[in-house]
Chain A
Amino acid sequence: MSPTVDSLPTGIEACDCLTPFGDATATTGALLAGRRALQMQPVLGAAGGDLVPLALCGSMDETVPPRWLPDLRRLVERIPGDRWGTARRPLIVTSSNFGVGSLYAFTRDRDPRHLRHGPPFACVEMLQREFGWGEQVHVISHACVSAHLGLVQAARLLHAGLADRVLVVTFDFVSPFVAGGFHSLKILNASLPAPYAVRATGSIGLGDGAAFAVLTRATTPLRLEAHALHNEMHHFTGNRPDGAGFDACAAAIAGTARGRRVWVKGHGTGTLEAGRLEAEAYARHLPGAPLVSWKGSLGHTLGSCGLVELALALAGLRAGRLPGTVGGAVPCCTGSVALEAFARDGYDGAILTSNAFGGAHAAMLLAHD
Protein backbone atom coordinates (compact mmCIF):
# COMPACT_ATOMS: atom_id res chain seq x y z
CA MET A 1 0.00 0.00 0.00
CA SER A 2 1.39 3.41 -0.98
CA PRO A 3 1.30 6.44 1.30
CA THR A 4 -1.50 8.97 0.90
CA VAL A 5 -0.24 12.43 0.06
CA ASP A 6 -2.50 15.45 0.56
CA SER A 7 -1.19 18.69 -0.92
CA LEU A 8 -3.73 20.95 0.76
CA PRO A 9 -2.13 24.24 1.81
CA THR A 10 -3.68 25.60 4.97
CA GLY A 11 -2.90 28.79 6.80
CA ILE A 12 -2.20 28.72 10.52
CA GLU A 13 -4.05 31.64 12.12
CA ALA A 14 -3.21 30.66 15.67
CA CYS A 15 -1.50 27.79 17.42
CA ASP A 16 -0.35 27.23 20.98
CA CYS A 17 0.25 24.40 23.40
CA LEU A 18 0.49 23.49 27.03
CA THR A 19 3.25 21.44 28.63
CA PRO A 20 4.65 21.32 32.18
CA PHE A 21 6.85 24.27 31.17
CA GLY A 22 3.83 26.41 30.22
CA ASP A 23 2.76 27.69 26.80
CA ALA A 24 4.60 27.22 23.51
CA THR A 25 6.87 30.24 24.03
CA ALA A 26 7.86 29.17 27.54
CA THR A 27 8.31 25.55 26.49
CA THR A 28 10.47 26.41 23.50
CA GLY A 29 12.55 28.67 25.74
CA ALA A 30 13.09 25.76 28.11
CA LEU A 31 14.03 23.46 25.24
CA LEU A 32 16.48 26.03 23.88
CA ALA A 33 18.02 26.14 27.36
CA GLY A 34 18.33 22.35 27.29
CA ARG A 35 15.97 21.77 30.22
CA ARG A 36 14.14 18.52 30.81
CA ALA A 37 10.56 18.45 32.08
CA LEU A 38 10.84 14.71 32.69
CA GLN A 39 11.38 13.66 36.28
CA MET A 40 11.64 10.19 37.77
CA GLN A 41 8.30 9.49 39.44
CA PRO A 42 6.33 6.42 40.58
CA VAL A 43 4.72 4.78 37.57
CA LEU A 44 1.36 4.35 39.33
CA GLY A 45 1.22 7.77 40.99
CA ALA A 46 0.10 7.63 44.61
CA ALA A 47 -0.04 3.84 44.36
CA GLY A 48 3.74 3.82 43.90
CA GLY A 49 5.67 1.42 41.69
CA ASP A 50 8.97 1.75 39.88
CA LEU A 51 10.35 5.21 39.16
CA VAL A 52 9.98 6.19 35.51
CA PRO A 53 10.42 9.45 33.56
CA LEU A 54 7.20 11.47 33.51
CA ALA A 55 6.60 15.14 32.64
CA LEU A 56 3.42 16.09 34.43
CA CYS A 57 1.49 19.31 34.98
CA GLY A 58 0.58 18.12 38.48
CA SER A 59 -0.20 14.91 40.31
CA MET A 60 -1.03 12.05 37.99
CA ASP A 61 -3.84 10.80 40.21
CA GLU A 62 -7.27 11.59 38.82
CA THR A 63 -9.72 13.90 40.56
CA VAL A 64 -13.31 15.10 40.18
CA PRO A 65 -13.51 17.15 38.01
CA PRO A 66 -10.57 15.79 36.00
CA ARG A 67 -7.20 16.99 37.24
CA TRP A 68 -6.37 18.33 33.79
CA LEU A 69 -9.45 20.51 33.31
CA PRO A 70 -7.98 23.72 34.84
CA ASP A 71 -4.92 23.41 32.59
CA LEU A 72 -7.06 22.81 29.53
CA ARG A 73 -9.23 25.79 30.49
CA ARG A 74 -6.15 28.03 30.50
CA LEU A 75 -5.19 26.80 27.05
CA VAL A 76 -8.69 27.22 25.61
CA GLU A 77 -8.82 30.82 26.89
CA ARG A 78 -6.07 31.59 24.36
CA ILE A 79 -8.07 30.38 21.35
CA PRO A 80 -9.07 33.40 19.26
CA GLY A 81 -12.60 33.80 17.91
CA ASP A 82 -15.80 32.21 19.00
CA ARG A 83 -18.75 30.16 17.72
CA TRP A 84 -16.50 27.11 17.41
CA GLY A 85 -18.47 24.00 16.63
CA THR A 86 -20.90 25.74 14.26
CA ALA A 87 -21.57 24.92 10.61
CA ARG A 88 -18.77 26.93 8.99
CA ARG A 89 -16.45 26.82 11.99
CA PRO A 90 -16.26 23.16 12.96
CA LEU A 91 -14.15 21.83 15.75
CA ILE A 92 -11.97 18.73 15.71
CA VAL A 93 -11.12 17.19 19.07
CA THR A 94 -8.36 14.60 19.17
CA SER A 95 -6.83 12.52 21.92
CA SER A 96 -5.55 9.03 22.47
CA ASN A 97 -6.51 9.07 26.14
CA PHE A 98 -9.60 11.25 26.61
CA GLY A 99 -10.78 10.45 30.14
CA VAL A 100 -9.27 7.00 30.54
CA GLY A 101 -7.61 8.17 33.75
CA SER A 102 -11.08 8.77 35.17
CA LEU A 103 -12.19 5.27 34.21
CA TYR A 104 -9.11 3.90 35.95
CA ALA A 105 -9.80 6.05 39.01
CA PHE A 106 -13.32 4.61 39.17
CA THR A 107 -11.89 1.11 39.35
CA ARG A 108 -9.84 2.21 42.37
CA ASP A 109 -12.27 4.31 44.41
CA ARG A 110 -15.69 3.47 42.87
CA ASP A 111 -16.68 7.15 42.83
CA PRO A 112 -19.37 7.25 40.10
CA ARG A 113 -18.58 10.89 39.31
CA HIS A 114 -15.50 9.70 37.40
CA LEU A 115 -17.79 7.98 34.92
CA ARG A 116 -19.28 11.26 33.69
CA HIS A 117 -16.19 12.12 31.70
CA GLY A 118 -14.44 8.79 31.31
CA PRO A 119 -15.55 7.43 27.92
CA PRO A 120 -14.34 9.45 24.91
CA PHE A 121 -17.65 10.94 23.78
CA ALA A 122 -18.76 11.69 27.34
CA CYS A 123 -15.45 13.46 27.78
CA VAL A 124 -15.95 15.54 24.63
CA GLU A 125 -19.53 16.37 25.64
CA MET A 126 -18.21 17.65 28.96
CA LEU A 127 -15.77 19.89 27.07
CA GLN A 128 -18.55 21.16 24.80
CA ARG A 129 -20.54 22.21 27.85
CA GLU A 130 -17.50 23.62 29.63
CA PHE A 131 -16.29 25.75 26.73
CA GLY A 132 -19.58 26.57 24.98
CA TRP A 133 -18.69 24.68 21.82
CA GLY A 134 -21.45 23.85 19.35
CA GLU A 135 -22.55 20.57 17.83
CA GLN A 136 -20.24 20.49 14.80
CA VAL A 137 -17.53 18.48 16.48
CA HIS A 138 -15.43 15.78 14.84
CA VAL A 139 -13.74 13.39 17.25
CA ILE A 140 -10.61 11.58 16.10
CA SER A 141 -8.57 9.04 18.02
CA HIS A 142 -5.89 6.99 16.33
CA ALA A 143 -3.21 6.40 18.94
CA CYS A 144 -0.20 8.69 18.65
CA VAL A 145 -1.04 10.16 15.23
CA SER A 146 -4.43 11.43 16.50
CA ALA A 147 -3.58 15.14 16.45
CA HIS A 148 -1.87 14.84 13.10
CA LEU A 149 -4.99 13.23 11.64
CA GLY A 150 -7.01 16.10 13.10
CA LEU A 151 -4.88 18.55 11.11
CA VAL A 152 -5.36 16.47 7.95
CA GLN A 153 -9.12 16.35 8.49
CA ALA A 154 -9.16 20.13 8.99
CA ALA A 155 -7.28 20.66 5.72
CA ARG A 156 -9.70 18.39 3.88
CA LEU A 157 -12.75 20.19 5.30
CA LEU A 158 -11.32 23.55 4.28
CA HIS A 159 -10.43 22.47 0.75
CA ALA A 160 -13.76 20.72 0.26
CA GLY A 161 -15.47 24.03 1.00
CA LEU A 162 -17.16 22.59 4.07
CA ALA A 163 -15.65 25.11 6.47
CA ASP A 164 -14.24 28.63 6.58
CA ARG A 165 -12.08 28.04 9.62
CA VAL A 166 -11.39 24.91 11.61
CA LEU A 167 -10.30 24.66 15.21
CA VAL A 168 -8.28 21.57 16.15
CA VAL A 169 -7.94 20.90 19.87
CA THR A 170 -5.95 18.01 21.28
CA PHE A 171 -5.22 16.88 24.82
CA ASP A 172 -3.52 13.91 26.45
CA PHE A 173 -2.80 13.76 30.14
CA VAL A 174 -0.91 10.82 31.59
CA SER A 175 -2.71 8.45 33.94
CA PRO A 176 -1.45 5.51 36.00
CA PHE A 177 -3.36 3.28 33.59
CA VAL A 178 -1.40 4.46 30.56
CA ALA A 179 1.95 4.77 32.33
CA GLY A 180 1.47 1.27 33.69
CA GLY A 181 0.75 -0.03 30.21
CA PHE A 182 3.93 1.40 28.70
CA HIS A 183 5.85 0.21 31.75
CA SER A 184 4.63 -3.35 31.22
CA LEU A 185 5.96 -3.14 27.66
CA LYS A 186 9.34 -2.28 29.28
CA ILE A 187 9.83 0.76 27.04
CA LEU A 188 8.93 3.09 29.93
CA ASN A 189 11.64 2.09 32.36
CA ALA A 190 14.23 3.43 34.79
CA SER A 191 16.20 5.35 32.12
CA LEU A 192 15.61 8.82 30.74
CA PRO A 193 15.01 8.84 26.99
CA ALA A 194 17.87 9.73 24.66
CA PRO A 195 16.26 9.98 21.22
CA TYR A 196 18.38 8.70 18.32
CA ALA A 197 21.30 7.78 20.60
CA VAL A 198 23.11 4.51 20.04
CA ARG A 199 23.01 2.79 23.41
CA ALA A 200 22.27 -0.57 24.96
CA THR A 201 18.80 0.15 26.30
CA GLY A 202 16.00 2.17 24.81
CA SER A 203 13.51 4.10 26.91
CA ILE A 204 10.76 6.62 26.51
CA GLY A 205 9.23 9.20 28.82
CA LEU A 206 5.56 10.18 28.95
CA GLY A 207 4.33 13.74 29.22
CA ASP A 208 1.17 15.78 29.67
CA GLY A 209 0.36 17.87 26.63
CA ALA A 210 -2.45 19.80 24.97
CA ALA A 211 -2.57 22.16 22.01
CA PHE A 212 -4.80 23.93 19.53
CA ALA A 213 -4.57 25.30 16.00
CA VAL A 214 -6.92 27.53 14.03
CA LEU A 215 -6.58 26.68 10.34
CA THR A 216 -7.87 28.55 7.26
CA ARG A 217 -7.52 28.48 3.49
CA ALA A 218 -5.80 31.88 3.60
CA THR A 219 -2.09 32.03 2.91
CA THR A 220 -0.22 32.85 6.08
CA PRO A 221 3.56 33.26 6.56
CA LEU A 222 3.64 29.95 8.43
CA ARG A 223 1.47 27.31 6.79
CA LEU A 224 1.01 23.59 6.37
CA GLU A 225 1.62 22.69 2.73
CA ALA A 226 1.19 18.92 2.61
CA HIS A 227 0.67 15.75 4.60
CA ALA A 228 1.77 12.15 4.02
CA LEU A 229 0.02 9.27 5.77
CA HIS A 230 1.01 5.64 5.64
CA ASN A 231 0.35 2.38 7.45
CA GLU A 232 2.94 -0.30 7.05
CA MET A 233 0.50 -3.07 8.06
CA HIS A 234 3.19 -5.06 9.83
CA HIS A 235 2.48 -5.40 13.53
CA PHE A 236 0.65 -3.67 16.36
CA THR A 237 3.72 -2.74 18.38
CA GLY A 238 6.63 -3.28 16.00
CA ASN A 239 7.87 -1.78 12.76
CA ARG A 240 9.11 -3.69 9.75
CA PRO A 241 12.74 -4.42 10.58
CA ASP A 242 13.89 -3.31 7.13
CA GLY A 243 12.48 0.19 7.75
CA ALA A 244 10.18 0.08 4.74
CA GLY A 245 7.36 1.78 6.65
CA PHE A 246 9.49 4.76 7.64
CA ASP A 247 11.04 4.85 4.21
CA ALA A 248 7.70 5.03 2.39
CA CYS A 249 6.44 7.95 4.47
CA ALA A 250 9.77 9.79 4.33
CA ALA A 251 9.93 9.41 0.56
CA ALA A 252 6.38 10.70 0.16
CA ILE A 253 6.78 13.82 2.27
CA ALA A 254 10.25 14.52 0.88
CA GLY A 255 8.64 14.61 -2.55
CA THR A 256 6.46 17.52 -1.44
CA ALA A 257 9.49 19.43 -0.13
CA ARG A 258 11.52 19.48 -3.37
CA GLY A 259 13.26 22.81 -3.83
CA ARG A 260 13.04 23.66 -0.16
CA ARG A 261 15.78 23.56 2.44
CA VAL A 262 14.15 21.78 5.35
CA TRP A 263 14.88 20.61 8.85
CA VAL A 264 13.11 17.63 10.41
CA LYS A 265 11.33 17.37 13.74
CA GLY A 266 11.12 13.61 14.11
CA HIS A 267 8.93 11.40 16.26
CA GLY A 268 12.00 10.19 18.23
CA THR A 269 10.55 8.76 21.44
CA GLY A 270 13.76 7.13 22.61
CA THR A 271 13.12 3.53 21.55
CA LEU A 272 16.15 2.15 19.77
CA GLU A 273 14.93 0.47 16.63
CA ALA A 274 12.20 2.91 15.63
CA GLY A 275 14.53 5.85 16.28
CA ARG A 276 17.24 4.38 14.11
CA LEU A 277 14.86 3.47 11.29
CA GLU A 278 13.34 6.94 11.30
CA ALA A 279 16.71 8.71 11.37
CA GLU A 280 18.05 6.56 8.54
CA ALA A 281 14.95 7.10 6.39
CA TYR A 282 15.09 10.90 6.66
CA ALA A 283 18.87 11.02 6.22
CA ARG A 284 18.37 9.03 3.03
CA HIS A 285 15.53 11.09 1.56
CA LEU A 286 16.51 14.52 2.89
CA PRO A 287 20.32 14.46 3.01
CA GLY A 288 21.75 17.31 5.02
CA ALA A 289 18.50 18.08 6.84
CA PRO A 290 19.09 18.31 10.61
CA LEU A 291 16.89 15.97 12.65
CA VAL A 292 15.64 16.78 16.14
CA SER A 293 13.29 15.27 18.70
CA TRP A 294 11.96 17.06 21.77
CA LYS A 295 10.58 14.03 23.57
CA GLY A 296 13.80 13.63 25.57
CA SER A 297 12.67 16.70 27.50
CA LEU A 298 8.88 16.66 27.33
CA GLY A 299 8.27 12.96 27.07
CA HIS A 300 5.84 11.52 24.58
CA THR A 301 2.56 13.42 24.68
CA LEU A 302 0.94 10.48 22.89
CA GLY A 303 -1.99 11.33 20.62
CA SER A 304 -1.33 15.04 21.05
CA CYS A 305 2.35 15.06 20.10
CA GLY A 306 1.76 16.07 16.47
CA LEU A 307 0.07 19.34 17.38
CA VAL A 308 2.02 20.07 20.59
CA GLU A 309 5.26 19.81 18.63
CA LEU A 310 3.87 21.88 15.74
CA ALA A 311 3.16 24.66 18.24
CA LEU A 312 6.73 24.36 19.53
CA ALA A 313 8.16 24.46 16.01
CA LEU A 314 6.20 27.65 15.31
CA ALA A 315 7.42 29.20 18.57
CA GLY A 316 10.99 28.29 17.66
CA LEU A 317 10.60 29.86 14.24
CA ARG A 318 9.26 33.04 15.85
CA ALA A 319 12.26 33.03 18.20
CA GLY A 320 14.64 32.50 15.28
CA ARG A 321 16.15 29.34 16.82
CA LEU A 322 15.05 25.72 16.79
CA PRO A 323 15.73 23.54 19.85
CA GLY A 324 18.05 20.59 19.43
CA THR A 325 17.51 17.04 20.64
CA VAL A 326 17.38 17.66 24.37
CA GLY A 327 18.51 14.55 26.23
CA GLY A 328 20.20 13.11 23.16
CA ALA A 329 23.72 11.79 23.30
CA VAL A 330 26.59 10.73 21.09
CA PRO A 331 27.03 8.47 19.31
CA CYS A 332 23.84 9.11 17.33
CA CYS A 333 22.37 6.65 14.88
CA THR A 334 22.93 9.05 11.95
CA GLY A 335 25.06 12.12 11.39
CA SER A 336 21.92 14.15 10.73
CA VAL A 337 20.82 14.23 14.39
CA ALA A 338 21.15 17.75 15.78
CA LEU A 339 21.84 17.72 19.51
CA GLU A 340 22.27 21.48 19.78
CA ALA A 341 19.87 24.31 18.89
CA PHE A 342 20.33 25.94 15.50
CA ALA A 343 19.25 29.12 13.70
CA ARG A 344 16.22 29.10 11.40
CA ASP A 345 18.12 31.21 8.88
CA GLY A 346 18.77 29.31 5.69
CA TYR A 347 15.73 27.06 6.04
CA ASP A 348 12.34 27.58 4.44
CA GLY A 349 10.51 24.49 5.57
CA ALA A 350 10.23 21.78 8.16
CA ILE A 351 9.05 18.19 8.11
CA LEU A 352 7.21 17.19 11.28
CA THR A 353 6.53 13.51 11.89
CA SER A 354 4.42 11.35 14.19
CA ASN A 355 4.13 7.60 14.46
CA ALA A 356 1.74 5.33 16.27
CA PHE A 357 1.11 1.79 17.40
CA GLY A 358 -0.51 -0.15 14.63
CA GLY A 359 2.14 0.85 12.09
CA ALA A 360 0.86 4.36 11.42
CA HIS A 361 3.21 6.99 9.98
CA ALA A 362 2.33 10.66 9.49
CA ALA A 363 4.42 13.57 8.25
CA MET A 364 3.63 17.16 7.34
CA LEU A 365 5.46 19.91 5.50
CA LEU A 366 5.48 23.23 7.35
CA ALA A 367 6.46 26.10 5.05
CA HIS A 368 8.08 29.11 6.67
CA ASP A 369 9.47 31.47 4.02
Chain B
Amino acid sequence: MPDLLNARLKNLIVQTLRLKDVKPEEILDHEPLFGASRFDLDSIDALELVLRLEKEFGIKIGSSEESRQALATVATLADFIRGRPPGRGT
Protein backbone atom coordinates (compact mmCIF):
# COMPACT_ATOMS: atom_id res chain seq x y z
CA MET B 1 0.00 0.00 0.00
CA PRO B 2 1.52 3.38 -1.00
CA ASP B 3 2.68 5.71 1.75
CA LEU B 4 0.18 8.59 1.85
CA LEU B 5 2.70 11.20 2.92
CA ASN B 6 5.12 10.14 0.18
CA ALA B 7 2.35 10.36 -2.39
CA ARG B 8 1.34 13.80 -1.14
CA LEU B 9 4.95 14.97 -1.33
CA LYS B 10 5.34 13.73 -4.90
CA ASN B 11 2.25 15.64 -5.95
CA LEU B 12 3.51 18.73 -4.18
CA ILE B 13 6.94 18.49 -5.86
CA VAL B 14 5.46 18.18 -9.33
CA GLN B 15 3.02 21.04 -8.75
CA THR B 16 5.43 23.42 -7.05
CA LEU B 17 8.25 22.93 -9.53
CA ARG B 18 5.92 22.61 -12.53
CA LEU B 19 7.55 19.40 -13.70
CA LYS B 20 5.67 18.97 -16.97
CA ASP B 21 7.23 15.72 -18.08
CA VAL B 22 7.04 13.94 -14.72
CA LYS B 23 4.03 12.25 -13.20
CA PRO B 24 3.98 12.11 -9.37
CA GLU B 25 3.73 8.34 -9.33
CA GLU B 26 6.86 8.06 -11.47
CA ILE B 27 9.04 9.54 -8.72
CA LEU B 28 10.64 6.76 -6.69
CA ASP B 29 10.79 7.07 -2.91
CA HIS B 30 14.59 6.76 -2.77
CA GLU B 31 15.44 8.50 -6.04
CA PRO B 32 17.74 11.57 -5.72
CA LEU B 33 15.82 14.79 -6.31
CA PHE B 34 18.80 17.13 -6.72
CA GLY B 35 22.32 16.88 -8.06
CA ALA B 36 22.79 14.05 -10.52
CA SER B 37 19.10 13.37 -10.97
CA ARG B 38 16.80 13.18 -13.96
CA PHE B 39 14.78 16.16 -12.75
CA ASP B 40 17.47 18.78 -13.39
CA LEU B 41 16.58 20.75 -10.25
CA ASP B 42 18.79 23.44 -8.75
CA SER B 43 19.04 25.59 -5.63
CA ILE B 44 16.30 27.96 -6.76
CA ASP B 45 13.99 24.97 -7.11
CA ALA B 46 15.05 23.92 -3.61
CA LEU B 47 14.18 27.37 -2.30
CA GLU B 48 10.70 27.22 -3.85
CA LEU B 49 10.15 23.75 -2.48
CA VAL B 50 11.28 24.65 1.03
CA LEU B 51 8.97 27.67 1.17
CA ARG B 52 6.03 25.54 0.00
CA LEU B 53 6.82 22.76 2.48
CA GLU B 54 7.10 25.22 5.36
CA LYS B 55 3.72 26.66 4.48
CA GLU B 56 2.04 23.34 3.75
CA PHE B 57 3.25 21.42 6.79
CA GLY B 58 3.91 24.25 9.28
CA ILE B 59 7.52 23.13 9.72
CA LYS B 60 10.72 25.16 9.73
CA ILE B 61 13.93 24.17 8.00
CA GLY B 62 16.78 25.82 9.86
CA SER B 63 19.74 25.91 7.49
CA SER B 64 20.77 25.22 3.91
CA GLU B 65 22.55 22.06 5.07
CA GLU B 66 19.39 20.78 6.76
CA SER B 67 17.46 21.66 3.61
CA ARG B 68 19.92 19.68 1.47
CA GLN B 69 19.64 16.61 3.69
CA ALA B 70 15.86 16.76 3.92
CA LEU B 71 15.38 17.20 0.18
CA ALA B 72 17.68 14.36 -0.83
CA THR B 73 14.78 12.04 -1.71
CA VAL B 74 11.05 11.79 -1.13
CA ALA B 75 11.74 9.26 1.63
CA THR B 76 14.17 11.56 3.51
CA LEU B 77 11.73 14.42 3.12
CA ALA B 78 8.90 12.34 4.59
CA ASP B 79 11.14 11.28 7.50
CA PHE B 80 12.06 14.90 8.11
CA ILE B 81 8.43 16.01 8.21
CA ARG B 82 7.40 13.15 10.48
CA GLY B 83 10.20 14.07 12.87
CA ARG B 84 9.25 17.72 13.10
CA PRO B 85 6.25 18.94 15.07
CA PRO B 86 4.68 21.94 13.27
CA GLY B 87 6.56 25.21 13.76
CA ARG B 88 9.73 23.60 15.02
CA GLY B 89 13.11 24.00 13.33
CA THR B 90 16.51 22.97 14.56
Q: Which residues of A contact B73 (CB under 8 A)?
A: none
Q: Contact between A186 and B61 (Cβ–Cβ < 8 Å)? A: yes
Kindly state whether residue A206 has any CB partner on chain B within 8 Å. no
Beta-carbon contact of B47 and A201 below 8 Å? no
The reply to whether B65 and A201 form a contact with Cβ atoms under 8 Å apart is yes
Q: Is B63 within 8 A of A237, CB to CB?
A: no
Q: Say whether, besides A184-B47, A236-B44, A238-B43, A271 and B64 are in contact (CB < 8 Å).
A: yes
A238-B65 CB under 8 A given contacts A184-B47, A185-B47: no
Interface string of A39-59 (1 = CB under 8 A from B): 000000000001000000000
Assess whether A191 is in contact with B43, with CB atoms less than 8 Å apart.
no
Query: Any chain B CB within 8 A of the CB of A258?
Result: no
Q: Which residues of B contact A203 (CB under 8 A)?
A: 63
B51 an interface residue at 8 Å Cβ cutoff?
yes
Give chain A nearest CB distance to B42 CB in angstroms.
Answer: 6
B50 within 8 A of A: yes
A58 to B30 alpha-carbon distance, docked (Å)? 48
Question: Is A189's CB under 8 angstroms from B63's CB?
Answer: yes
Q: Which residue of B lies closest to A201 (CB)?
A: B63
A interface size (C-beta, 8 A): 18
CB contacts (< 8 Å) of B65 on chain A: these are 200-202, 272
Min Cβ gap A200→B in Å is 6
List chain B residues, Cβ under 8 A from A187.
63-64
Task: Give the contacts of A158-210 with B (CB-CB under 8 A).
Answer: 184-187, 189-191, 200-203
Q: Is the CB of A235 within 8 A of B61?
A: no
CA distance A194 to B64 in the complex (A): 15
B44 engages A186 (CB within 8 Å) = no
- Asked if B86 is an interface residue, CB under 8 A from chain A, the answer is no
Query: Which of these, B42, B50, B60, B62, contacts A235 with CB under 8 Å?
Result: B42
Interface string of B32-62 (1 = CB under 8 A from A): 0000000000111001001100000000111
**Chain B at the A interface: SS class:** helix
Q: Closest Cβ of chain B: how far from A29's Cβ, in Å?
A: 32
Q: B64: which A residues are within 8 A, CB to CB?
A: 185-187, 202, 271
B63 to chain A, nearest CB (A): 4
Interface centre among A50, A186, A191 (most CB of B within 10 A): A186
A12 to B90, CA, bound (A): 46
Distance in angstroms between the alpha carbons of A50 and B62 in the assembled complex: 10
Q: Given the complex, which residues of A lie within 8 Å of B50, measured CB to CB?
A: 184, 186
Q: For B43, what are the chain A residues with a Cβ–Cβ distance below 8 Å?
A: 235-238
A204 nearest in chain B by CB position: B64
Interfacial chain B residues near A271, Cβ < 8 Å: 64
A residues less than 8 Å from B67 (CB atoms): 186
- Are the C-beta atoms of A190 and B89 separated by less than 8 Å? yes
| Cβ distance A100 to chain B, nearest Cβ, rounded Å | 19
Looking at B44, B64, B67, the one whose CB has the most chain A CB atoms below 10 A away is B64
Q: Does B31 contact A (CB under 8 A)?
A: no
Contacts of A201 in B (CB 8 A): 62-63, 65-66, 90
A47 to chain B, nearest CB (A): 17
Report which residue of A189, A202, A272 has the largest number of chain B beta carbons within 10 angstroms of its beta carbon: A189
Instruction: Please give, as numbers and ranges, the residues of chain B lying within 8 Å of A190 by CB-CB distance.
Output: 62, 89-90
CA distance A187 to B66 in the complex (A): 10
Contacts of A272 in B (CB 8 A): 65
CB distance from B71 to the nearest CB of A (A): 11
A250-287 CB contact bits vs B (8 Å, 1 = yes)? 00000000000000000000011000000000000000
Residues of A within 8 A of B62 (CB): 186, 189-190, 201
Contacts of A238 in B (CB 8 A): 42-43
Q: CB-CB < 8 A to B51: which residues of A?
A: 184
B55 to chain A, nearest CB (A): 12
Besides A186-B50, A236-B43, A238-B42, 4 new A-B residue pairs in contact (Cβ under 8 A), listed by A number: A184-B47, A185-B64, A201-B66, A237-B44
* A-B CB contact pairs (8 Å), 6 listed: A185-B64, A186-B63, A186-B67, A201-B66, A203-B63, A237-B44
